[in-house]
Every structure is written in C-alpha cells, then in structure tokens.
C-alpha cells in the first residue's frame, strides 16, 4: 500500500488489510491551515469543491484576498480521486468531454487535454461481453446489442413531442428561454413517464433501461423529476451515442484530484489565498457592512466583506444564517435532491472482465458494472453503481462480504482483490451524489437557489446553468459568481482594487 498521505474520506479493502477508512489522494492539503487570525478578507469561500476552488482562483487572480473554509481535509468535494499505488480510482464525478466548455477550458489551461482515457473499456481489452440478469435468466449480449436495446427504449421514453425532446428543451443551457416545456414536464415523475411507456417496451428493453435509469437519477422513481432526464438528453444533443460519449466515456488519466490540485495550487501561488481545512462551518452572520463566519468548533471566527457559499443543496440547511435564508432556499434544501446512488470500485484478478458490461436489476445490490482499466498489478478495474431501491440499497462499508457478493453476482470467477469507495449518502457534507431534483423543484426553487442573500452569494453545481449536476456546472457557477463578487468589490473600492 502506498505511503502517500491519506484523506479521512473513502474506504479501501484488501485481503491483507481488511477494511480501512481513508484513502490516499492528491487532493489532501497539508499543512491543513494557512491563514492570519483577525484578518478581514475581501471574500470568504465556504467549500473546496470545483465551484469553490474556481471561485478562489478567479478572485485571487483578480487581486482579492480570499479565505477558503473547507470541512474536509481535501479539495474536490464530490469529485475526487484516490491514488493507490499510482492508480486513480474516481470516488465521485469522473467523466469529462470537450463539449463541456468550462471543463475543457481548465484542461487546456493546465495542459491536460492529452490525459484523456477511454472509459468504459468496451471492445478494447479481454473478451467483449455483456450479461443481463432478466428475472433469473442470464442473457449474453454484445456491446452493440446492448447499445441498440437501450437506444430503442430511450427513444420511446424521451419522445414526448415527436422530435425526441427538441421542442421541449431547445435551449439546454438556459431553460428559462422555453418555460412552457419546463413547467409541463418538471411536475412529471420518472415513475409517471414509465407508466406511459412500459406497454411499448419488450421485457429485455424494460429491464435494461430501468436499470440504466435507476443509477442515473439514483432515487425512488416517484420522487425523481422526468424533466431532469429531458435536460440531460438535450445537453447531450438529443441522441444516445452522444449521451453516452459526453457523459460516460472520457476520464482523466491521473484522476480528478490532479486537475483540482492544479486549480488550487494556482490560487495559492498568487499569495492571496489563505485556507483552513477540517473546519466545518457552524453559522454565517451578515452584519450589512461585512460577513462573519464561525467554525463549528467555536474556536475560530473569520471575517470578510463578502461570502460565497458553495455547499451542496442537501447540506445548505445545516448551516445557520443570520439573517435567515429566504424560505424557498431553506425549503429546497430540506426537501433535497433525490440521488442516493452508490459507486464502488473493485480490482479483480480476471483479465476477461476488462471489457465486461453487466446488469443485475432490480434485485442486485449493485445494478451495473463495467471494465474501466488495468491496475498496476495487471488486474482488472471494475466500477459499479447501485440504485437506492428499498431492500437492495447497499452501504458498502457495513458488510464487506455483502459488497463482494454484489460484485460477484454480476459474473462468476471475478476473484475480488480490492474494493475502493466513498459512501456519499452517508457523507454529512454531501448527503447524496450528483444532483437530481424532485418533481416541481426546478420551477419552484431553482431561481431562488441562485439568488444572493445580502452579502452572501451562492455557487453550486446543484443550481448552476447548463451542465447542472456535472463537474462543468460547478466550474461554470464558480467562475460566474467570482466575476459578480469581484465586480461588486471593485465598484465599492475602485482605487484599492487597482493596487
């Protein structure tokens, strides 16, 4: 096992070590604090995910003194990677694409565009195979068969307008430009739409497609908005090949934490970024002339002229604000998005698994797995996702034997050597995976979530424009809010901002 310093986050299991909490990562920040007590900063940023570190970088490069306050011991938020024996396992957000403009800008900026790897490894290594557990009968397919079946089902499911959703979401980067489509389908649940479409699906189509969707929204079907899928579909150019390529094909060779580290290090290099990690926030007080932040420990109080809060939607209500947050912000956070998907990696000593794609729905504790690379030991890397259906939801750390069995249920002869995962729905600073809103939440809450509250601004992938719920959305929102805050501070003190 590598001697690289470990974050407290994540879990790893091997036969030799048993279950160990904490995994090594490039995103760990040591020493964990670097700030001046009593200093009045231009801006405090709460949260060191992509929205937070982009905000910090852009503000510091523009000449502002910034303090980053982060509850974890690392950067990256819900997009971070372990680094075990030089091999990255993506614990959260993973895939990127050149059609995601803000991600691509950052990869180009840091000279990382040549670091993309194809993922999953379809028809690349080992025996190409797809298995589907259809009511106890194992179906063997090719990857081309799999794509054709899912595409057939997807088109039936998404085609509410005879044009595969194009008239419903013609402007996916600004849904307010076609409000009628949003209002009609935002109040429809995924369950509602499945009732309409199910009679037109073959048993195999229904099984495979439901399995796919269950790990897309990651929640109960009746609690997940159908509009969210329409929005994803539009962002991915209204067809399944693009849907899969833009959302599930290219990952960064050295892991997401390698990119996050470059952003953070550039901000630190300006000499204008201070930070304190392992510092959960208790409350935020806006005095009108400035903002005061108190750490949960009660031992530290930080002051600034403005504050940018980047904590996830499901966590926002756990911070106390004075004045209190507007009702719609609080209601939205208390309701929360629904995604409780489980993501788990396995290193298996079977090279034939390298091009595997396997579905075990609805009875498997893990729903879908695929080959995602070859580890330094020459073993196969599998990544798997599980839905949160009642009775099959998996907490991987609770019983490693159950987790191993969930992998082995996909295909015989896996020989699991290592497990790596982060349990997002039990993470107090995330309380869920990527954003997927409930029916009606987009129309009722999204605009309110973006609005400032006095001297407090909000940036988050959960409420961003465009690629909301994705890495690109977090970067987009961080840069957008950094510009708003800098312009306001410059207008308040135009001479000082030029110094």
Task: Provide the annotated binding site.
Answer: 70-71, 281, 385
Q: How far is CA 78 from CA 41, 70, 91, 434, 439, in A?
A: 27, 13, 8, 8, 23
Helix then strand then coil, % of the chain, to nearest 5: 35, 25, 40
- Specify whether the CB–CB gap between 251 and 119 falls below 8 A: yes
Closest by CA position to 166, among listed 112, 237, 96: 237
According to DSSP, the residues that pair with 285 across neighbouring strands are 292, 322
Reading phi first (left if > 0) and then psi (alpha if -120 to 50, else beta), residue 217 is in alpha
Please state, as a whole number, how many other Cβ atoms lie within 10 Å of the Cβ of residue 145: 15
From the centroid of its chain, how far is CA 351? Answer: 29
CA distance 478 to 495: 25
| Helix residue ranges, H only, 393-456 | 400-408, 441-450
Q: Which residue numbers belong to the known binding site for substrate?
A: 385
According to DSSP, the residues that pair with 21 across neighbouring strands are 11
Q: Which residue numbers belong to the known binding site for FAD?
A: 70-71, 281
From the centroid of its chain, how far is CA 38? Answer: 35
Q: Over the Cα atoms of the chain, what is R_g?
A: 22
CA distance 133 to 361: 7
CA dihedral 373, 255, 387, 225 (to 10 degrees): -130
Q: How far is CA 304 from CA 70, 463, 490, in A?
A: 16, 24, 15
- Specify whether the CB–CB gap between 33 and 299 falls below 8 A: no
- Specify whether the CB–CB gap between 50 and 260 falls below 8 A: yes
CA distance 284 to 324: 9
Closest by CA position to 344, among listed 413, 412, 402: 402
Residue given tokens 């007590």 in the structure block: 37
The first and second tokens of residue 452, run together, are 């400032």
């Amino acid at each position: 096992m590598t001697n690289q310093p470990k974050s407290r986050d994540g879990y790893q299991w091997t036969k030799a070590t048993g279950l160990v909490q904490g995994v090594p990562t490039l995103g760990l920040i040591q020493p964990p604090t670097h700030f001046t007590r009593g200093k009045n900063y231009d801006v405090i940023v709460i949260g060191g995910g992509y929205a937070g570190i982009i905000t910090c970088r852009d503000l510091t490069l523009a000449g502002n003194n910034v303090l980053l306050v982060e509850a974890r011991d690392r950067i990256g938020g819900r997009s971070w990677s372990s680094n075990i024996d030089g091999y990255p396992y993506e614990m959260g957000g993973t895939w990127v694409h050149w059609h995601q403009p803000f991600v691509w800008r950052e990869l180009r900026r840091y000279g990382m565009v040549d670091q993309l790897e194809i993922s999953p490894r379809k028809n690349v290594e080992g025996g190409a195979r797809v298995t589907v557990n259809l009511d106890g009968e194992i179906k063997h397919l090719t990857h081309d068969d799999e794509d054709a079946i899912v595409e057939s089902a997807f088109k039936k499911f998404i085609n509410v307008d005879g044009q595969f959703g194009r008239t419903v979401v013609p402007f996916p980067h600004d849904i307010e430009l076609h409000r009628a489509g949003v209002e009609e389908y935002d109040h429809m649940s995924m369950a509602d739409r499945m009732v309409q479409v199910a009679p037109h699906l073959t048993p195999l189509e229904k099984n495979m497609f439901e399995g796919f969707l269950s790990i897309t929204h990651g929640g109960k079907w009746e609690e997940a908005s159908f509009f969210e899928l329409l929005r994803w579909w539009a962002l991915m150019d209204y067809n399944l090949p693009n849907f899969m390529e833009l959302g599930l094909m290219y990952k960064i060779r050295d892991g997401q934490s390698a990119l996050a580290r470059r952003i953070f290090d550039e901000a630190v290099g300006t000499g204008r970024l201070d930070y304190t990690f392992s510092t959960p926030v208790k409350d935020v007080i806006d005095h009108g002339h400035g903002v005061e932040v108190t750490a949960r420990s009660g031992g530290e109080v930080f002051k600034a002229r403005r504050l940018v809060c980047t904590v996830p939607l499901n966590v926002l209500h756990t911070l106390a604000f004075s004045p209190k947050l507007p009702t719609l912000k609080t209601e939205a956070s208390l309701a929360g998005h629904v995604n409780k998907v489980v993501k788990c990696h396995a290193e298996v000593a079977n090279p034939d698994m390298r091009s595997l794609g396997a579905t075990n729905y609805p009875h498997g504790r893990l729903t879908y797995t695929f080959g995602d690379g070859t580890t330094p030991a020459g073993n196969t890397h599998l990544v798997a996702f599980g839905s949160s259906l009642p009775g099959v939801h998996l907490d991987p750390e609770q019983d490693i034997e159950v987790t191993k069995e969930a992998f082995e249920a996909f295909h015989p002869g896996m020989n699991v050597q290592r497990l790596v995962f982060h349990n997002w729905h039990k993470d107090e600073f995330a309380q869920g995976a990527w954003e997927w809103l409930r029916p009606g939440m987009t129309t009722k809450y999204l605009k309110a979530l973006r609005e400032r509250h006095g001297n407090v601004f909000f940036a988050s992938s959960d409420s961003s424009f465009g690629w909301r719920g994705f890495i690109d959305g977090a970067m987009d929102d961080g840069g957008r809010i950094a510009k708003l805050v800098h312009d306001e501070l410059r207008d308040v003190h135009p001479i000082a901002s030029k110094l």
